[in-house]
Structure 1
Amino acid sequence: MGIGAKLSAIYRRDRHISRLILMMVVWAAFMAITRFDKFYTLINFQTMASQFPEFGLMSLGIMVCMITGGIDLSTVGVANLVSICAAMLMKGMANEEGEIAAYVIPLCFVIAIALGAVAGAFNGLLISRIRIPPILATLGTSELFTGIAIVLTDGKAVSKLPRVYSSTINSKIFGLIPTQLVFFAVMALILWFLLTRTTYGTKIYMIGTSARAAEFSGIRMSLLLIKTYMLSGICAALGGMVMLANYNSARADYGTVYTLQCVLIVVLGGVNPNGGSGKTSGVVLAICLLQMLQTGINRFPQISSYYISLIWGGVLILVMVLNYFTEHNIHLFKPKRS
């Protein structure tokens, strides 16, 4: 078998992964040619590794929901509400010098995870029990969570947090690996294990493939959907805690662009919007690719940052079209019959 045949076999085995790797290689080569000195630096890669976990964690949550055939559009609202609650708690437990006890940060994370799980369970109940379509249910709860956050803060930012929180989360392990990246990697590994090595993963793929068949096979769909949206809520909460450290403040309207970006990442990563298929590895690669694209674009001063949303929207539509033609084996240009 020649090299071309081997590459073709690899591509057919997983077209989404192969496409992502190819895009990353092409973009990396382009940046090497045009902006090598500005892009290929240790500090630049460390910055990228500390930036993408906040929206990367939210993307992982949306991934598990989309595998079931649903979606979670409330992740940003959950992240902001959780980060505001954590910020207010830290400020309330700080002394006059702005210092907090050693147990406060772990306590904030426990409370954040609990709040995220409760928000996710609420989404799951609306979808599984009241039968509200996921897109409408989570769009509504997104506005609800954002509204609660605005009421709590009067629309203002919660700032002047204890410095130890930001310095702890923004620290680097062994002076190289950003702590935010560790949070993301651990959560990605947990979800990979749940999806590939447990009956939970098998069941949510079944629901995404055929909800009716899954129900007839005895799967408790309501409980499973609630657990799935709880997972998404936990991912969003952790993303909010990373945002809190990166911005050193919390506000109800932070990260508003992340909703579209996270959906783009999940679809780009090969998760079927109709449910039933998708891999954690594909979503992780898509997260890395989008961070590379965003950082690379910022290295060109002549390209305004206002074009980022336009680019993401165009890429999302393009990916959806490509996936449609790929999955249905449709060729735009059919060879002429002789």
Structure 2
Amino acid sequence: MTEATANTQRIPDRLESPLKAAILSWPALLLLVVVGLFILNSLLSPYFLSAWSISDMTFTFTEKAIIALAMALLIISGEIDLSVASIMALASTMMGIALQYGLGTPGLVLVGIGTGLICGAFNGFLVTRLGLPSIVVTIGTMSFFRGISYIVLGDQAFKGYPDSLDFFGQGYVFWVVSFEFVLFLICAAAYYVLLHRTNFGRHIFVIGNNPVAARFSGIRVERVKFILFCLTGLMSGVAGVLLTSRLASTRPSIAFGWELEVVTIVVLGGVSILGGAGSILGVVLAAFIMGLVTFGLGLLNVPGIVMSIFIGALLIFVIALPIAFRMIRERRA
């Protein structure tokens, strides 16, 4: 009885306090990695520790991170969208077409964002109404959307955007703080509240863990997923506007391959690729990690193909890591 009592008394001691749980959490580890990469970049390159260099670094990840915020919610719900980069290309192409008809900056922005929203709604309709697997649908629309851009543009490019459009992708709100970065922080705060402080966010977690139970509990699963696809398309349209503004031109190859980097940011941020778990804070920190890595490698004149190899290896690693830990725990048990 004494031994049994001692064992039962030790169980509460094994429960982590909120502070200890936060310190040992995945976002805390990511924060340490961010600090470590910042120090490493400072030591490896004499050009890194400059306000303007750090500001330039934010341009390497803000557009992808803006999409990753919405993609995180979608993956937590158990779905995925691999067409986000192609949506950006199509949004930019539609902006170029609107430019030919004399549309001004407000109209161009609305066209880009609206195109993204329509593409997201199209993906959502195919998945939620027709019951098609999201990975198959979005692989198809990835080719479909970018194919439209190639049909319209071929090997040409749209140029001559108004100077007032430059602010969205090149402007600064204060000193070295870019508009893109401020917009990313605002979106991150909004998505944090949406996912972690609202009933809608709780519904997303429930759906990701068990969609059947969610449906029987009264949650409109298809409606929630449709909204998430629309949000992902909307944020892709916003990113398309920002990138078009930053490049001051439109080509059909714009943002080619970015879907891999967006998914890497989401998964590196601690979002389970199987759905049901994740946090916006982790995604934000993962975006900074991707920016520090890519910008640091760029300062060291590392070829782009090496960066692609690193991103692919990183994606495999962060997916395999929790599986490996789970297998180790099961063997020890």
- Normalising by structure 2, report the TM-score: 0.89
**Alignment partner of 1:34 is 2:44:** yes
Q: CA deviation at 1:138?
A: 0.8
Q: How many residues align?
A: 317
- Counterpart of 1:267 in structure 2 is 267
Of 13, 18, 22, the match for 2:32: 22
Q: CA deviation at 1:168?
A: 5.2
Structure 2: gaps of 5 or more residues: 1-16
Q: CA deviation at 1:160?
A: 2.5
Q: CA deviation at 1:89?
A: 1.6
- Counterpart of 1:98 in structure 2 is none
Q: CA deviation at 1:9?
A: 4.6
Q: CA deviation at 1:332?
A: 11
- Counterpart of 2:53 in structure 1 is 44
Equivalent residues in 2 for 1:234-313, closer than 5 Å: 234-301=234-301, 303-313=302-312
**Alignment partner of 1:315 is 2:314:** yes
Distance 1:8 1:194 in 2: 26
Distance 2:102 2:29 in 1: 49
Q: CA deviation at 1:214?
A: 0.5
Distance 1:50 1:21 in 2: 20
Distance 2:330 2:242 in 1: 44
- Counterpart of 1:105 in structure 2 is 105
Q: CA deviation at 1:18?
A: 1.8
CA shift digits 1:34-88 (9 cap, x unpaired) = 22x2111111111112332211122222211101111010101111111111132
- Counterpart of 1:65 in structure 2 is 74
Could you tell me whether the CA contact under 8 Å between 1:91 and 1:161 is conserved in 2? Answer: no
Letter in 2 for 1:77: S
Residues 197 and 10 (structure 1), Cα distance of their counterparts in 2 relative to 1, 3 Å cut: closer
Q: CA deviation at 1:193?
A: 1.6
CA shift digits 1:267-326 (9 cap, x unpaired) = 00000011111111110110111000011111213x322211101111111111222234
Distance 1:186 1:273 in 2: 25
Letter in 2 for 1:57: I
- Counterpart of 1:127 in structure 2 is 127
- Counterpart of 2:8 in structure 1 is none
Report which stretch shifted further, 234-243 or 217-226.
Answer: 217-226
SS of alignment partner, residue 173 of structure 1? strand
Distance 1:127 1:10 in 2: 36
Distance 2:173 2:315 in 1: 35
Equivalent residues in 2 for 1:72-111, closer than 5 Å: 72-93=81-102, 104-111=104-111
- Counterpart of 1:330 in structure 2 is 328
CA shift digits 1:127-146 (9 cap, x unpaired) = 11111111111111111111
Letter in 1 for 2:318: V
Residues 331 and 34 (structure 1), Cα distance of their counterparts in 2 relative to 1, 3 Å cut: farther
Could you tell me whether the CA contact under 8 Å between 2:127 and 2:137 is conserved in 1? Answer: yes
Over 4 Å off, 4+ runs: 5-9, 331-334
Structure 1: gaps of 5 or more residues: 95-103
Percent same amino acid among aligned pairs?
Answer: 28
Equivalent residues in 2 for 1:195-206, closer than 5 Å: 195-206=195-206
SS of alignment partner, residue 123 of structure 1? helix
RMSD of aligned alpha carbons: 2.2
Distance 2:169 2:231 in 1: 22
- Counterpart of 2:166 in structure 1 is 166
SS of alignment partner, residue 51 of structure 1? coil
